[in-house]
Amino acid sequence: MGMWSIGAGALGAAALALLLANTDVFLSKSQKATLEYLEDIDLKTLEKEPRTFKAKELWEKNGAVIMAVRRPGCFLCREEAADLSSLKPKLDELGVPLYAVVKEQIRTEVQDFQPYFKGEIFLDEKKRFYGPQRRKMMFMGFVRLGVWYNFFRARNGGFSGNLEGEGFILGGVFVVGSGKQGILLEHREKEFGDKVNPVSVLEAARKIQPQTSAAKSK
C-alpha cells in the first residue's frame, strides 16, 4: 500500500509539473523596449570588413520591420523568416525595409538562413535587440504543448534546420516608425516557435510615416 501511495504521489507531482510547465507561470517576463534603447544599439554589417553603426540608421528615414532571430539554423526561425519575407512585396510598396539581426555568426549559418529571409541581416554582438531584459527558454520548452504544435506546424510546412549555435535566448519582431515616431509593434517570442502575426506586422507598417511626411505633420 505504501509503494502505491508513493507511486500515486509521484504521478500527481509529475502531472502538476507538466500542467504548470504549460502555463505562463514560469515563463521569463519580458520588458518593453524604448525607442531610445533601440536607437543606441551597435550593429555590424556582415561584410569582410564590417562597419559598426547605430541601429537607428535602419529606420530613421522610412521606418523598418526588424526580426531578432533566435537562431538562424532553427527551423522554427526559418519558418517565421519566410512568413515575414512573404510580406516584402507589400512592404516594398510602402517603402518600408525588412531587416534581421543575429547574435552570432557561426560558419555558414547566416548564409544558409538567407534563402528564407529576403532582407539585409546584421550582427548584434551584445544581444541588445534581445533585451532590455533577456529572456531564455531552456529544456522546459520541450514539455510545452504549444512548442510541439509549433514543431509539427513547421515540419509540415517543409522547414528543416540544425542545432548549430545558441538557441535559448528568445527573439522577437519589431516594427519601428521613422525618426521619432516610435515602436509601432513589439512581438516577444514567449516560447520556441511563437511567431508574430504577419497581418499585425503589415498593419503596423502601414502606420509608418516617411520622415518627410512625419516632419510636415509636426
Active-site residue among 64, 65, 74, 205? 74
pLDDT of res. 55: 98
Rounded to whole angstroms, the Cα distance separating 35 from 27 reads: 25
Percent of the chain with pLDDT over 90: 71
Known active-site residue 117 = no
- What nine digits make up the cell of 185? 509593434
Rounded to an integer, the average pLDDT of 23-40 is: 78
Of the residues 38, 55, 65, 77, only one is catalytic, namely: 77
Mean pLDDT of 157-173: 95
Task: Provide the pLDDT for residue 199.
Answer: 97
Confidence of residue 4 (pLDDT cuts 50, 70, 90): very low
Is there a catalytic annotation at residue 74?
yes
pLDDT over 50 at 16, yes or no: no
- Render pLDDT for 43-85 as a digit per residue (tens, 0 to 9): 999 988 999 999 999 999 999 999 999 999 999 999 999 999 9
Q: Is the pLDDT of residue 143 over 80?
A: no
Q: Is the pLDDT of residue 212 over 80?
A: no
Residue 8: pLDDT over 50: no
Provide the percentage of residues in the chain whose pLDDT is more than 70: 83
State pLDDT tens for residues 95-112. Answer: 999 999 999 999 999 999
Asked whether residue 15 carries a pLDDT value surpassing 50, the answer given is no
pLDDT at 9: 47
In angstroms, the CA 184 to CA 59 distance is 12
Angle formed by the axes of helices 145-156 and 75-85, to 10°? 60
